[in-house]
Structure 1
Amino acid sequence: MCTAIISVDPGARVPVLLAAVRDELAGRAWDLPGAHWPDRPGIVAGRDRAAGGTWLAVQAADGRVACLLNGFGRGCPGAARRSRGELPLAVAAGEGLDRARLPCYDPFHLVTADTDTVVLSSWDGAALRTRRLGAGLHLIVNSGLEGRDDQHPGNPTSPADMAARVAHFRPLLLAAPRPDPDDGTTAEAWAGWLPVVEGGGLAPADPRALLIRRTDRERRVFRSQSVSLLAIGDGTVRYDFTAAPATGTWHRVPVDAALPMRSRR
């Protein structure tokens, strides 16, 4: 996942909105969001088939969401490395970050959100930085909050492109009406943000693009695989998802289906 857009308005009916764009190798297999982990009842997430983890996890019973972005910094040696995809599963389940295991993970940014609190945890391979995100609009990319955290100029991905993305999309989002998701279709619930998160009219090769397609030096193709839209309010979560963000084809993920019957709202 390369971009997370978060709006926090404590006075709104839905205080926390999250849009998350996942960029990944085009050939890496994954499953649509669902209850894929029998040992984690109540968790709904897309599943990465290669490592078994996820990039975004929802725990509807507690109204909690956790989403992951790769970060920059010092990687973990191969023999000790753990998959970062296990982090959103643990955090969404309420387990928190195991600080003793942090050296086993490559750098990351992890957003944890519920109705009352949004926290950004950033690990660069040496130190963990934790910030509470207050009222307002926040954009997170691989180079950190508002693209300002990166201190590693040798990164394979250009921080300049990420800064350009933030600079282009921040005013568009600020000018758009803040969604107030309730019942109805994705187009009805997310009308203000939908034109932006569907690309805002930029071509995938544009350095500012939110929905990308890139080829690296090894001729591997990276592209935006999916977009998730989350509305968190009053202990509930609405989750809209598309695996074809350029087409406008969306569906609503039934997060309550993963809950025990007595917990469903």
Structure 2
Amino acid sequence: MCTVVIRVPEPGDGPIRLLAVRDEDPHRPWRPLGAWWPEREGVEGIMDELAGGAWLAHDGATLAVLLNRDGGSTVAVPASRGSLVLDAIAGRDLPDPLTTLGFNLVVADAAGVSVTSWEGGTPRVTRLAPGTHMIAHEDVDAPTTARVAAWLGAFSEAPTDGDPWWGGWIDTLRASTVVEATDDRAIVRDNRPHGYPTQTLLVCVAGVDAAGVTATMARLDEPGAWNELSL
């Protein structure tokens, strides 16, 4: 139940901005943003050690990040979704047939941002218009997603032209922690009461434009609990 906030500029009006908040089982091993795939030159990402894929990764020009959603393949042992991120930044098509569980795959490059959504059937691709968008486990800007309904307006109003550019969005993220981590509106989350073992582990910010991708991350001191971040 991760969360991603994206600001798509008008053409020629600055870089794409992205804030990604990762929820995962704290006991599932992972590696922070780094070059963990020697066979993929120039690729850096946040690695899932068990399956070898990535939650978020970039190759200096294209960035991709994956969010879970319901549905997907009904095969006995679904394939890992982490490979989709690495394939996306390499420009590879989705596997056919898809054998993963459902997902939202966000891909950003200098030309813009697309979101591929799949919960079975035919994948749907949404090209994001200029503006601020938010996505979690449903569609982009879905008003039925409580955290989107609660905080999209605040992220839309927050500036992303300061130094550092992400200051306004981190202030908004901090303000969102006024609700409990178990609340449906929470972005920094503890999903265990909802039947999932996942808690918020880290925050990543990234910029994407014709000059390339810049990304940095910070992990939370305690899963599912806010602390001031050193990004």
How far did residue 199 of structure 1 move?
Answer: 5.4
Instruction: Work out the CA distance in 2 between the residues paired with 1:199 and 1:223.
Output: 18
Give the structure 2 partner of residue 226 of structure 1: 202
How far did residue 132 of structure 1 move?
Answer: 0.8
Instruction: Work out the CA distance in 1 between the residues paired with 2:72 and 2:36.
Output: 31
Residue 51 of structure 2 corresponds to residue 88 of structure 1 = no
* Other structure's SS at 1:113 match: strand
Instruction: Work out the CA distance in 2 between the residues paired with 1:249 and 1:74.
Output: 34
Instruction: Work out the CA distance in 1 between the residues paired with 2:148 and 2:216.
Output: 23
How far did residue 94 of structure 1 move?
Answer: 2.2
Instruction: Work out the CA distance in 2 between the residues paired with 1:96 and 1:198.
Output: 37
How far did residue 65 of structure 1 move?
Answer: 0.4
Instruction: Work out the CA distance in 1 between the residues paired with 2:194 and 2:148.
Output: 25
Aligned match for 1:235, one of 207, 211, 216: 211
Residue 191 of structure 2 corresponds to residue 214 of structure 1 = yes
Structure 1 runs, 4 residues or longer, greater than 6 Å off? none
Matched letter for residue 20 of structure 2? A
* Other structure's SS at 1:209 match: coil
8 Å Cα contact 1:109/1:121 also seen in 2: yes
Q: TM-score, normalised by structure 2?
A: 0.89
8 Å Cα contact 1:119/1:130 also seen in 2: yes
Instruction: Work out the CA distance in 2 between the residues paired with 1:189 and 1:135.
Output: 18
Aligned match for 1:66, one of 64, 67, 74: 64
Give the structure 2 partner of residue 256 of structure 1: none
Q: Which has the larger radius of gyration?
A: 1
8 Å Cα contact 1:19/1:197 also seen in 2: no
Q: How large is the RMSD of aligned CA atoms in angstroms?
A: 2.1
8 Å Cα contact 1:199/1:211 also seen in 2: no
Structure 1 residue ranges without an equivalent (≥5)? 149-159, 252-265
* Other structure's SS at 2:32 match: strand
Residue 150 of structure 2 corresponds to residue 180 of structure 1 = no
Residue 6 of structure 2 corresponds to residue 3 of structure 1 = no
Residue 140 of structure 2 corresponds to residue 165 of structure 1 = no
8 Å Cα contact 1:14/1:234 also seen in 2: no
Spell out the pairing of 1:114-133 with structure 2 (5 A cutoff): 114-133=109-128
How far did residue 216 of structure 1 move?
Answer: 4.4
Give the structure 1 partner of residue 170 of structure 2: 194
Q: Structure 1 residues 67 and 116 mapped into 2: Cα distance closer, same or farther (>3 Å)?
A: same
Give the structure 2 partner of residue 261 of structure 1: none
* Other structure's SS at 2:142 match: coil
Give the structure 2 partner of residue 139 of structure 1: 134
Instruction: Work out the CA distance in 1 between the residues paired with 2:133 and 2:169.
Output: 14
| Per-residue deviation, residues 36-61 of structure 1 (Å, max 9, x unmatched) | 0111111100111111111111110x
Matched letter for residue 247 of structure 1? N
How far did residue 225 of structure 1 move?
Answer: 1.0
Instruction: Work out the CA distance in 2 between the residues paired with 1:233 and 1:64.
Output: 9
* Other structure's SS at 1:72 match: strand
How far did residue 11 of structure 1 move?
Answer: 4.2
How far did residue 95 of structure 1 move?
Answer: 2.2
8 Å Cα contact 2:72/2:120 also seen in 1: yes
Residue 208 of structure 2 corresponds to residue 248 of structure 1 = no
How far did residue 230 of structure 1 move?
Answer: 0.7
* Other structure's SS at 1:192 match: helix
Matched letter for residue 193 of structure 1? W
Give the structure 1 partner of residue 42 of structure 2: 42
How far did residue 193 of structure 1 move?
Answer: 0.9
Instruction: Work out the CA distance in 2 between the residues paired with 1:28 and 1:208.
Output: 25
Structure whose residues are more often helix by fraction: 1
What is the number of equivalent residue pairs in this alignment?
A: 226
Q: TM-score, normalised by structure 1?
A: 0.78
Instruction: Work out the CA distance in 2 between the residues paired with 1:230 and 1:211.
Output: 18
